[in-house]
């Protein structure tokens, strides 16, 4: 089981569409059950039916940096921890992505989304510094989030009592917004690409977001 998970984790470097499923199965490596093995085999079966899918990087794509951030609040039923997911694009090209269970139990959807936005912000700051070495300077990189409360929290100059439990992360995001490094932008849930990294989806929605990630048939 561990060998299969290791092989799949290696593959997620070029197949982000299986990232959520693989990471979910990887949580049970210590004591896997038959049901877990069945799910891993389902992932292999999906890969067998889609061998030519790959990330496509078009030459004429624009070169603007934008990101998506989302969290599935309390979605992991074993310990009720939320799952964070982010992805970063240069134009239409997917260049970075991750799906991870949060370290602590979030007390609200806003907190879960805000924790994810903080992780996304840290990734953006690192990417901006790297791109600066190549002569590209980005200001107000958008973090597209589908939670209005998290967006309002980032823009609110008043330190509200409800932010005490996420104090440091609150100030980190707020500081970068005030500097003009990032901005939180609302995106409807139907257009939140990062859903593919945080929760199971129906076939139609999965196919739609997979295409928006840049995964297509490559011969």
Indicate if 3 and 108 belong to the same structural domain.
Answer: no
Query: How far is it, in rounded angstroms, from Cα 126 to Cα 123?
Result: 5
Does the residue 30 lie in any domain?
yes
Indicate if 115 and 33 belong to the same structural domain.
Answer: no
The residue segments making up the domain with residue 12 are 1-51
- How much is the pLDDT for 76? 82
Indicate if 177 and 82 belong to the same structural domain.
Answer: yes
- How much is the pLDDT for 10? 93
- How much is the pLDDT for 79? 85
- How much is the pLDDT for 136? 86
Indicate if 119 and 187 belong to the same structural domain.
Answer: yes
**CATH number of the domain to which 144 belongs:** 3.30.420.10
Indicate if 41 and 76 belong to the same structural domain.
Answer: no
Angle between helices 109-132 and 167-179 (to 10 degrees): 50
Does the residue 155 lie in any domain?
yes
Tens of pLDDT along the chain (219 residues) come to 999 999 999 999 989 999 999 999 999 998 899 999 999 999 999 999 998 898 988 888 788 889 999 999 888 888 888 899 999 999 889 999 999 988 888 888 888 888 888 889 999 999 999 988 888 888 889 999 988 888 887 777 565 555 555 667 767 888 888 888 889 899 998 999 999 999 999 999 999 999 999 898 887
Task: Name the 3-class secondary structure at 185.
Answer: strand
Query: How far is it, in rounded angstroms, from Cα 35 to Cα 84?
Result: 24
Does the residue 209 lie in any domain?
no
Under a CB-based contact definition with an 8 Å cutoff, are residues 135 and 116 in contact? no
- How much is the pLDDT for 162? 56
Indicate if 140 and 71 belong to the same structural domain.
Answer: yes
Does the residue 123 lie in any domain?
yes
Indicate if 78 and 180 belong to the same structural domain.
Answer: yes
Indicate if 44 and 113 belong to the same structural domain.
Answer: no
The number of folded domains in the chain is 2
Does the residue 219 lie in any domain?
no
Query: How far is it, in rounded angstroms, from Cα 101 to Cα 178?
Result: 29
- How much is the pLDDT for 63? 83
- How much is the pLDDT for 89? 93
- How much is the pLDDT for 3? 93
- How much is the pLDDT for 157? 55
Does the residue 59 lie in any domain?
no
């Amino acid at each position: 089981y561990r060998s299969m998970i290791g092989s799949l984790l290696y593959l997620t470097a070029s197949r982000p569409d299986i990232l959520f499923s693989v990471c979910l199965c990887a949580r049970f490596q210590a004591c896997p059950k038959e049901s877990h093995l069945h799910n891993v085999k389902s992932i292999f079966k999906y890969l067998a039916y889609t061998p030519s899918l790959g990330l496509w990087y078009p030459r004429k794509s624009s070169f603007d940096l934008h990101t998506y951030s989302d969290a599935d609040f309390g979605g992991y039923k074993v310990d009720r921890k939320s799952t964070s997911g982010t992805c970063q694009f240069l134009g239409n090209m997917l260049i970075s992505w991750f799906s991870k269970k949060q370290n602590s139990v979030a007390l609200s959807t806003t907190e879960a989304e805000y924790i994810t936005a903080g992780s996304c912000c840290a990734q953006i700051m690192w990417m901006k510094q790297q791109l600066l070495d190549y002569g590209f300077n980005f200001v107000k990189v958008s973090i597209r989030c589908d939670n209005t409360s998290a967006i309002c929290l980032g823009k609110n100059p008043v330190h509200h009592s409800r932010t005490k439990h996420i104090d440091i992360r609150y100030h980190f995001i707020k500081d970068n917004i005030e500097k003009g490094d990032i901005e939180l932008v609302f995106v409807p849930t139907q257009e939140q690409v990062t859903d593919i990294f945080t929760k199971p989806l129906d076939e139609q929605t999965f196919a739609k977001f997979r295409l928006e990630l840049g995964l297509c048939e490559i011969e």
